[in-house]
Amino acid sequence: MTAPVRLAVLGAGGRGADAYGRWVRTHPDRARIVAVADPDAARLEALAGTTAARYADWTGLVAELGRLRPDAVIVALPDALHVAAATAVADAGLPMLLEKPAAPTLAALTDLAGVVRRTGARIAVGHVLRFAPFWRAVRAVVEAGALGDLATIEVRENIGFWHFAHSFVRGNWRNTAESSPMVLAKTCHDLDLIRWLAGSAPRTVASEGSLLHFRPENAPDGAPARCTDGCPAAADCPFYAPRYYLDALRDVTGHPVTMLGGDLSPAGRLAALRRGPYGRCVYHCDNDVADHQQTLLRFPSGLTATLTASAFTAENTRHLAITGTRGQLHGHMESGEIRVDLFSPSGRLPDAVLGSLPGVELVESGTDGPLGHASHTLVAHPAPESGPGSGPSGRGGHAGGDDGLMDAFCRAVVDGTVGSGELSFATALDSHLMAFAAEWSRSGAGVVDFGRWSGATSGSASAGPGQDSTPQDSTVRRAR
């Protein structure tokens, strides 16, 4: 039996501790945490336990990598620290799991691409959904050709009104300059999945959207700066903070409530709402990221794909619809249900889906429509021990993707394959470029010629990146 993989973790927050640290705790035969860095003493203690070395800053830990001798590093720091930390880990020659987004700006991404070229850095990016049973089943159906040639892909990212208010109005991802545009922070997963299913980079990217609602002019009359300051709209405002953190989530002590601070008693929560960012009126925050955005992608094969992301949804999950020349697929990530309609009388579900994919089960087969075509329903379940999801309905850490990625990453550390295939920077790069192209399009650039645009972008990496996230005008085709 192989010895457990020795991991150093930079950032002991929601991802470092609750997602990846939890997997390590439940898989002591596969991995062990030997060092942790976090300035938050409580988080540091909680993840380091009694055995791991502790550091108050990631730089202190990285400086001692030679002595600590971990097999790999998990970079689960705030977005703005990713590139500096990943560069330092790459220079130390260690494989890493780098949280998404790999970099929060196009300039930082081109920097990181340069580091990968220079050092051969072995970077797996945290695109956890590729490792969720639901998306593996979808991909197996598509890859086997069961749907024929793909015509359309529609992904709907229902962010959930409460989740959007938490993360993208009051929280860490509210402001583009401080973090990144919503299309990157929230939907680089979706763009990655579209890219993965399409099998190629897009030819064009066009995107529209705006910050429609969470603006001062939409504040109810007399709304104070904080919900706790006697807001007259408390009873009917969907975003009234105490209703979420004190009532709906009163029994939750993990994510997202941990963001309130260390004291999660009712009094501690109330104090956090009175003082901290999560008690702010959603109409009086320093947010600027889009609250709804639709992106249209066209691929060389003729396939077109749309991604709709909206704050204004009841659910906090993804819907998927794929049409192909020989079939159709509908999926709902939260329930795990995937319906596959096969138009040809000889249409079959691929063997790769039936029986060989962990967590995927065929629950119903029948016929439908005027021609009696075959219709199958699959359900993809996260493993029972996978952690809680991010919303109050909380289903298994990214539908089992968090666990799936850790399982694959630790296996790849043992096999020496981090940095190749699905665990590589190269495989994640297009999704990030697609996000920046979409934001560039949304900001008024119209239809972006992705090939020319991304070519110009990688060129700027070798020439030295600029300060902003906008490529040269000459690489962009204006919408007619």
Ligand X SMILES: NC(=O)c1ccc[n+]([C@@H]2O[C@H](COP(=O)([O-])OP(=O)(O)OC[C@H]3O[C@@H](n4cnc5c(N)ncnc54)[C@H](O)[C@@H]3O)[C@@H](O)[C@H]2O)c1
Binding site for ligand X (CB under 6 A): 10-16, 37-40, 43, 57-58, 76-79, 81, 99-100, 126, 128, 398
Cα–Cα distance for residue pair 143/73, rounded to 1 Å: 32
Phi, psi of 293 (to 5 degrees): -160, 135
Whole-angstrom CA distances from 375 to 133, 135, 197, 249 are 20, 19, 21, 39
Nearest residue (CB) to ligand X, 253 versus 346: 253
Task: Provide the minimum distance between the beta carbon of 355 and ligand X in the complex, in angstroms, as a whole number.
Answer: 29
Task: Provide the minimum distance between the beta carbon of 455 and ligand X in the complex, in angstroms, as a whole number.
Answer: 27
Q: Which residues of 346-370 are buried (b: 16+ CB within 10 A; e: fewer)?
A: ebebeebbeeebebbeeeeeeeeee
Task: Provide the minimum distance between the beta carbon of 43 and ligand X in the complex, in angstroms, as a whole number.
Answer: 5
Nearest residue (CB) to ligand X, 100 versus 442: 100
Which residue matches tokens 């988080």?
Answer: 43
Nearest residue (CB) to ligand X, 126 versus 181: 126
Task: Provide the minimum distance between the beta carbon of 76 and ligand X in the complex, in angstroms, as a whole number.
Answer: 5
Dihedral of alpha carbons 56, 59, 64, 65, sign: positive
Task: Provide the minimum distance between the beta carbon of 390 and ligand X in the complex, in angstroms, as a whole number.
Answer: 7
Q: What is the dihedral of CA 381, 385, 386, 389, to 10 degrees?
A: 90
Q: Which two tokens stand for residue 248?
A: 């709906």
The distance in angstroms from the start CA to the end CA of the chain is: 62
Task: Provide the minimum distance between the beta carbon of 435 and ligand X in the complex, in angstroms, as a whole number.
Answer: 13
Nearest residue (CB) to ligand X, 255 versus 280: 255
Helix (H) or strand (E) holding 205: strand 204-210
Task: Provide the minimum distance between the beta carbon of 38 and ligand X in the complex, in angstroms, as a whole number.
Answer: 4
Nearest residue (CB) to ligand X, 45 versus 143: 45
Whole-angstrom CA distances from 313 to 155, 159, 259 are 14, 6, 22
Nearest residue (CB) to ligand X, 194 versus 342: 194
Nearest residue (CB) to ligand X, 341 versus 430: 430
